[in-house]
Chains A and B, each alone.
Chain A
Amino acid sequence: MKYILTILLLTGCFDVSNAQQKKTVSFEKKMLKIPAGNYKPFFVTKSNKPIKVAAFKMDESAITNSEFLLFVTANPQWRKSKVNRLFADSNYLRDWESDLVIGKKNINIYNSPVVHVSWFAAQAYCKWKNKRLPTVAEWELAGNAAPKNIKYTSLTEYILGWYKKPNLPVLPNIKTTYQNVYGLYDMHGLIWEWTFNFNSFISSGDSRGNTEDELKAFCAAGAINVVDKSDYAGFLRFSYRGSLKGNYCIANLGFRCAKTIE
């Protein structure tokens, strides 16, 4: 009886790990080249010149739970039970069953973007892959590209339509929204994404007007300086980034990596 129990336990263990392996076996994530371009910052800065963005490579889709599981398996300090609170708050990987188990009840999110990950965790993941997080300018340049496989009137309308909808109980899989002309999937419509310099937008609820540029974007009259006044979606993205801290782990915030072209 003892033996049978042990075997059952072991096979049980195996089943789980096999199931996870099937899901986690993934090929190197496809990266796409984003051509060089000029990115107009969303609000007017002192010099108000478009930022030149060099050509770079970007993951075609957001990092999934399965992909992130491989990372925490190889890097124990990033497991739920071990991670330093300085680098990830208590919501880190909140939906996962345990350190190395996404969980049977979560079977539908293996291939969905990993969320509840901090900036530090996203940084560490990209570094582990020998990549990096995209800058705000890179991300915005890539994200502003037109969709190629959906009907839409304007990208802003599409994005605002998404912002209006409440979060779905289960986050859909990657590649379920749209693909843009660069070939990137789900730049809008699925999750918000971390950027390397997310803390670059100078605005915060409690700043006392000592940062130089915030008035230009946020005070009623100052909003005249915003480059594209109809880009309310961009406005929301920027103020969202401005509200984040590096260890925040949030329900609809994930990431994808980028790479400099040598």
Chain B
Amino acid sequence: MTKYNIGILLILSLVGCMQSSNKTEKKITASGRQAVLPDKDSMPAESIFHLTDSFQTQENIPFTLSMLKGKPTVVGMIFTNCTYACPRLTADIKNIADSLKDEKEKVNFLLVSFDTKRDTPDRLKKFADEKGLNKNWILLHGSEYAVRTFSVLLNIQFEKDAEGNFSHSNLVSVLDKNGVLQYQKEGLGAVHTETITTIKKLIQQR
């Protein structure tokens, strides 16, 4: 075989290789469903801000979790038709807010609803008004998919029953300014001394 022939072979094989990698690239763009993450590199790997699904707030504003960046966040998952556990969980988080006094302005309070059907932004707005939750509170409505993913990230179990109500675990979670889960406390009416200490520490964090 001459050098010339070998050269051609080489080129051919390289072209073959390049073509297959081109195909791959095309597939990525064609599928298009994998959303590109915003400033991914500045986020810690464990940040739940990597979840890019869109939610709606009680003011009917589109919301992604990365919008919580910059303040620590206290999170609860609830549904507003809940007669027993949820008002108590909301009250627990409200108590945490009250204990923070002036510092509560430096914290996000986030409630995400399990009830993708009934808890529309309007319904959540009413709930916020009834409970006296001010502008530091963000109440989110999301797709079944987004809410389930959120619950999985925070290890919160929930199940919808035949009547459309939910059994769920009662967890208060604390995220740092970059969306990394730092603390969780299970239980209703739990003693939240440590939760509050954690939040205060996270407020100081740069």
Contacts and interface: CB of A to CB of B under 8 A. Distances in A.
B122 interface: no
Interface of B: 3, 6, 9-10, 13-14, 16-17, 20, 24, 27-28, 31, 33-34, 45-48, 50, 85, 145, 148-149, 151-153, 155-163, 165, 167-170, 186-188
Given A49-B163, A75-B34, A84-B50, A7 B6 contact: yes
Contacts of B163: 47, 49
B162 A245 contact: no
Contact of A74 (B16, B27, B160): B27
Contact of B161 (A46, A123, A199): A46
A210 B169 contact: yes
A199 B24 contact: no
A119 interface: yes
Contacts of A77: 34
A85 B24 contact: no
A17 B50 CA distance: 33
A47 B153 contact: no
A14 B13 contact: yes
A73 B24 contact: yes
A7 B10 contact: yes
B45 A123 contact: no
Nearest to A14: B13
Going nearest first, the 3 A-B pairs with the smallest beta carbon separation are: A246-B152, A49-B162, A200-B159
Interface of A: 3, 6-7, 10-11, 13-14, 17, 45-47, 49-52, 73-77, 84-87, 119-120, 123-124, 127-128, 132, 196-197, 199-204, 206-208, 210-213, 242, 245-246
A123 B150 CA distance: 13
Given A75-B31, A84-B45, A202 B169 contact: yes
A84 B153 CA distance: 13
A46 to B, nearest CB: 6
Nearest to A78: B34
A23 to B, nearest CB: 15
26 contacts: A3-B3, A3-B10, A10-B14, A13-B17, A45-B159, A45-B162, A45-B167, A74-B24, A75-B31, A75-B34, A85-B46, A86-B50, A86-B153, A199-B148, A199-B152, A199-B157, A200-B159, A201-B157, A210-B169, A211-B157, A211-B168, A211-B169, A211-B170, A212-B85, A213-B167, A245-B155
Nearest to A197: B148
A128 B35 CA distance: 11
A51 B85 CA distance: 23
Contacts of B170: 210-211
Contacts of B10: 3, 6-7, 10
B24 to A, nearest CB: 6
Given A75-B31, A204-B169, 10 more contacts: A49-B162, A74-B27, A74-B31, A128-B33, A199-B148, A199-B156, A200-B158, A202-B167, A207-B169, A208-B186
B34 A124 contact: yes
A76 B36 CA distance: 12
A86 B48 contact: yes
Contacts of B152: 119-120, 199, 245-246
Given A3-B10, A211-B167, A211-B168, A200 B186 contact: no
A204 B161 contact: no
Nearest to A124: B34
B58 to A, nearest CB: 25
Contacts of B158: 199-200, 202
Nearest to B159: A200
Contacts of B187: 208, 210
A50 B162 contact: yes
